[in-house]
Chains A and B, each alone.
Chain A
Amino acid sequence: MATHRCNIFMLAFVLCGLTCVFVREELVIRPLHSGDIYASFQFRTLWDTDFLRGISHYRLFPKSLGQVISKFSVRELHISFTQGYWRTMQWGQPFLPSPPGAELWVWFQDTVTDVDGAWKELTNVLSGIFCASLNFIDSTNTVQPSASFKPLGLGNVTDQRFLRYAVLPREIVCTENLTPWKKLLPCGSKAGLAVLMKSEKLFHSSFHSQALHFRPVCQDWKCKSTVLELRQTLNVVFDLHTSGQGKREWSLFKMFSRTLTEACPLASSSKVYVDVTDNPQGELFELSPTTPLLSQVVVLGDRRTYSVYDLTNQATFGQTRSLNMLLRWRAAENMLRPLLHGERYVAGYGLQTGEIHTLMYNNHPYRAFPVLLLDTVPWYLRLYIHTLTVTSKGRDNKPSYIHYQPSKDRLRPHLLEMLVQLPPNSVTEVTVQFERALLKWTEYTPDPNHGFYVGSSVISALVPSVVAMDTNSTRECPLFSSFFPCKEESSYFMRVYTEPLLVNLPTPDFSMPYNVICLTCTVVAVGYGSLYNLLTRTFQVEEPSPGLAKRLANIIRRLRGVPLL
């Protein structure tokens, strides 16, 4: 059986030739300050094809996705499914941020004429591919941000007409979303790092996020031609406390109930990185087996050191022919002070009005930096935009750019984007009041008393690098390298998502319609008519009707013009 599979892989190699070397897989393991452990998988597939000439051969690129992309002329597609909220204060920054629920943003080619139509069809198709409720994306939760979501790949089209962005904060992610996602991998879940993805372990965690990013990139450093890149990422944070039974010890097997035995045969590179930056002398944790390979990378503005395990090298697996890294903790948990950090909550009480507060923390000791805040609020929270205030350090902080698109009832949401300068070491508070709309009774969800979700707001920023911040370093580094404070990248791009909101709307008692119908009918039929009569008429006792003779006499008198009897 094994030889048979090998043959197929060999065949694939022969058929697709050089392009196959474009598959790479990586797993980064980072022990977090809180004592939790962060595992991040990334799989990259490149596809050198030209869209416009029509596509015939998908090679290792998943065909189901490739067809969709070419049919709808998608330039870039980013989709993420997240269960849980990334705790920046304890975990630091993730490699790839994503909001709770499902997020989808797509740049279409500028040849697309009916963007809305393509978007609608695309969401429905993706909904099928990923077994998710993306079909609930419609005009009421789609926006076109003007500045927050720029294309990440090649191409200089920045006309927001071709961009669509939507978040479904209520989407619940589970195994049925993971399976189709795994099927898109070149080796499936049969070989390589993907063997670790067993759903019973992945969903026994504090945070789970799977994403897929599709974009055009340069083929080589000269950038003469473009290739299409598909990156699939999976980020999981395992909770040491609940599942470790009190032992501060982790291994691949404990995390995933599997060990690594081989690389994906189709991958040109297959590596496992373990972040050992905070642990140069092994005082925080101890890692075994050790590896001589160390790699230094600047990631998210911070210089990190990683132990590297190369899975394509047989020596990595050692005598047991399997790799099972082991970490033993020694340190306790403490809170971090991440440079940028966002929070959001609803203030006030009662079901009529409320106030959305968004807090943005700049914890940099002396540098101010600008951030772009994107808020998408459903139409049933009617924002009073004249109450919008931005304050930092108790003073008014006027945004240098505001893009506001008011909502239309049942058609589109509010879109609020602004560029705010965050002063150093400060909290900037954005508040806006809203009124809760009374929905039509068919518009309520089946569980209306649960509340209605408002998606996360997105804070995008160019944050000054920690490396650059480190001026009076006590670290041992050569003097010639430490005079000018700006080193490496002076700032880096970062995106932070705040928590979604759960807002209660005024909710009728749905068991009541029958009573209401009865009551109103009764009131109208019985009460109204008679009350109206009572109020508008005066009642008098009628004289008994006169006899025939008298009536005749009266007729004659009327004819004669004399007073009646």
Chain B
Amino acid sequence: MGLLSDPNRRRALTKLLTRLNAPICVMCYLAGVAWFMGLAFEPFTLRTYMSENAMGSTMVEERFPAGERALATGREFAAHKKKVGGMPVDWLVKTMQSRGLEVFTQSFTRKLPFPDENKERYMVRGTNVYGILRAPRAPRTEALVLSAPCSEGNNNNQAVGLLLGLAQYFRSQIHWAKDIIFLVNEHDLIGMQAWLEGYHHTNTTGGDWSPLQGRGGSIQAALSLELSSDVITSLDLVLEGLNGQLPNLDLANLFYAFCQKIGVLCTIQGKLQRNDWDTTSGYSHAAQTMMLMVLKQASGRPWGDHGLFLRYHIEAASIRGINSFRQYKTDTTTIGRLLEGMYRKLNNLLERLHQSYFFYLMPSLSRFVSIGYYMPAFGLLAVILLLRVSFHLWDNRGFYFYLTPSSPGVLSILTPVVISHMTGVALYTLPILSQEMAVQHFPVSETEAVVLTAIAIYTAGLALPHNTHRYGTEEGWRVLKLVALLYLAVLLGCTALINFSLGFILALSLVPIAAFITPHTPKALSAAIMVLLSPGCTLLYCVFLFQELQETPVSLQDGWMLFLSVISQGILDHALYGSLVYPLLALLIYPCWLLLWNILFWK
């Protein structure tokens, strides 16, 4: 700081920063990207380890014997499901009761803002059934949840069967210290949302559900089980939850530890871990796994039924059974033993899981990157914005501050700021409000209407602000640029703190244009670059990248359809579960980008 209070040295520093501003910025950008890509390199990551003592050193035995019986129950469940044509509530209630649980049901209805074409639902009406295994000599203060969705078709019957089998087995054991809630939820996340809101008596998204009758106190941890085949080759762990929240890393460690102990293949993002980190293919495998996690986290949507638990500070993960063409198979008894072991250890918890990390990325199931390691990558990108601020604030001689009180720029930038945000508000509200009108006037379905309206408003925004300033000055655009830079820096900084992946992806695309856009750059080229790097196009690239990383590449046509459905899903996620990505993009990021657009066309 002495550097800054000494005018001579300060002048030297300013001179350095202003003269070498562009090269430094480019260096920072490249360094940020390189740092991020380096995170997947194994020597730079940490090996996972169990932090929670209560789960680490204690020994548990897994003795679950009844995998075959669980499968039989699953088939019975499937038969009843087919007969009723939905959730076989009566059968489930009776079965759970006969297994010695306290059984309750919860009914819910939900009208979606517009029809969900992916899952083909609009008016949703369903029932959740849950049974509570009361722990002996425990005062109903703590609970664990095991849930399995009742899905359409032939999916997840085995999961429900295993859940009921485990319930029966757990009931005959004396050592439970926490109540265990066995939940079968209908309509996946909508049912889960209704149950969680009912359990905590909140209503964040305006659903309609009947109040819950039985409770087990504060829920400590939850697992959601998805299993659609009698034998599996591997188990996949899904961590990403609503708004990019992640469960405590110890939950992932627990899963990994038991997979190792019992000898089950386990994956994350559907990818096995490899030992050849020093080869190119090994590195690219780890990088792919990590990028998938980044993309999923950035989407802000719950990637499994567990995703909604995280809002209530309940550590939760989904475990998904995968049956591929691999030779080696694992039977249901083994999965039952794995779950038994995990619940026995969770049962031993004295405190909530809190010892390990909440902010991490995983390049493989046994390696993780903590917040201290990945934040510099974002920091390197964000510092560019501040460097550009300094560049526009100072001229070559040292200090010249453009914002003098008499400057005409201060007021003249108010118009573009307001108009950009109004466009953002329109983008946020109009698609859902105007769907009826659109359906009447154009031959499209409601969902298409919503998505196309959103895209239309997005594009219309580009044309809007051109004529707002008649007598723009040189100072005017500089002030506007300063404001936009600071605004973007604050926005990205806050986003990255909550959801690193989203912040980082946005920074990757927005920082370059924010840094170098001026009215004096070649208009056509700059405009093309700006449009290509706009948030909407970033989303499109992400869709393609995601498909590529999942090894299911799509054609342009399919990619575009996928892009449209991702937009509709984003809007639905916001309306149904309170995901914040859509409002963030519409109300803040997009207006900020419009400000930069404005600068480009400053007259």
Contact = CB atoms under 8 A, between A and B. Distances in A.
A501 B141 contact: yes
Given A242-B171, A348-B200, A349-B312, A541 B8 contact: yes
A402 B570 CA distance: 49
B218 interface: yes
A208 B137 contact: yes
B47 to A, nearest CB: 20
A534 interface: yes
Contacts of B8: 541
A43 B6 CA distance: 88
Contact of B201 (A90, A203, A355): A355
A163 B215 CA distance: 33
Contacts of A205: 136-137
A100 B5 contact: no
Given A242-B173, A345-B201, A84 B1 contact: no
A401 interface: no
Nearest to A101: B139
Interface stretch (A70-78, A103-111, A183-191, A448-456): A448-456
Contact of B350 (A101, A450, A502): A450
Name, among B1, B102, B202, the residue most crowded by chain A CB atoms within 10 Å (CB to CB): B1
A346 B311 CA distance: 15
A448 B102 CA distance: 30
B205 to A, nearest CB: 13
Q: How large is the interface on B (under 10, 10 to 19, 20 to 34, 35 or more residues)?
A: 35 or more
B6 to A, nearest CB: 8
Which of B5, B138, B142, B217 has the largest number of chain A CB atoms within 10 A? B217
A529 B4 CA distance: 12
Nearest to A239: B136
Nearest to B172: A242
B137 A502 contact: no
Interface in A439-454: 447-451, 453
B23 interface: no
A348 B215 CA distance: 14
Interface string A477-503: 000000000000000000000011111
A501 B6 CA distance: 60
Given A242-B171, A347-B202, A526-B1, A84 B138 contact: yes
A169 B139 CA distance: 9
A531 B1 contact: yes
Contacts of A534: 1, 4-5
Contacts of B313: 349-351, 504
Interface string B86-100: 000000000001101
B580 to A, nearest CB: 15
Nearest to B136: A206
B351 A447 contact: yes
Contacts of A156: none
B481 interface: no
Contacts of A241: 100, 171-172
Contacts of A507: 354
Interface in B109-161: 134, 136-142
B408 interface: no
Interface string B238-256: 0000000000000000000
B21 to A, nearest CB: 21
Contacts of B553: none
A337 B296 CA distance: 48
B2 interface: yes
B139 A85 contact: yes
B350 A447 contact: yes
B7 interface: yes
B271 interface: no
B7 A500 contact: no
B459 to A, nearest CB: 38
A377 to B, nearest CB: 15
Contacts of B350: 447, 450
Contact of B5 (A204, A447, A530): A530
Contacts of A85: 134, 138-140
A138 interface: no
Contacts of B200: 347-349
Interface bin, chain A: 35 or more
Most chain B beta-carbon contacts within 10 A, residue among A87, A335, A527: A335
Interface in B481-519: none
Interface string A349-364: 1110001010000000
A376 B313 CA distance: 26
B215 A343 contact: yes
Nearest to A530: B1
A333 B140 contact: no
Nearest to A529: B1
Contacts of A270: none
A257 interface: no
Contacts of A514: none
A504 B313 CA distance: 10
A453 B97 CA distance: 30
A502 B141 contact: yes
Interface in B333-366: 350-352, 354
Given A89-B102, A204-B174, A533 B201 contact: no
A332 B100 CA distance: 10
B142 A207 contact: no
Interface in A157-197: 169
Contacts of B6: 539
Interface of B: 1-2, 4-8, 10, 97-98, 100, 102, 134, 136-142, 171-174, 200-202, 215, 217-218, 311-313, 350-352, 354
Interface of A: 83-85, 87, 89-90, 100-101, 169, 203-208, 239, 241-243, 246, 332-335, 343, 345-351, 355, 357, 447-451, 453, 499-504, 507, 526-527, 529-531, 533-534, 537, 539-541
What 5 pairs between A and B have smallest CB-CB spacing? A530-B1, A100-B139, A347-B201, A449-B351, A84-B137
Given A87-B134, A499-B139, 14 more contacts: A84-B139, A85-B139, A100-B139, A206-B137, A208-B137, A242-B172, A242-B174, A345-B215, A349-B313, A350-B313, A447-B350, A453-B141, A502-B141, A530-B2
22 contacts: A84-B136, A85-B139, A101-B139, A169-B139, A205-B137, A206-B136, A206-B137, A242-B173, A348-B201, A351-B313, A448-B351, A450-B350, A451-B352, A453-B141, A499-B139, A499-B217, A500-B139, A500-B141, A530-B5, A534-B5, A537-B5, A541-B7
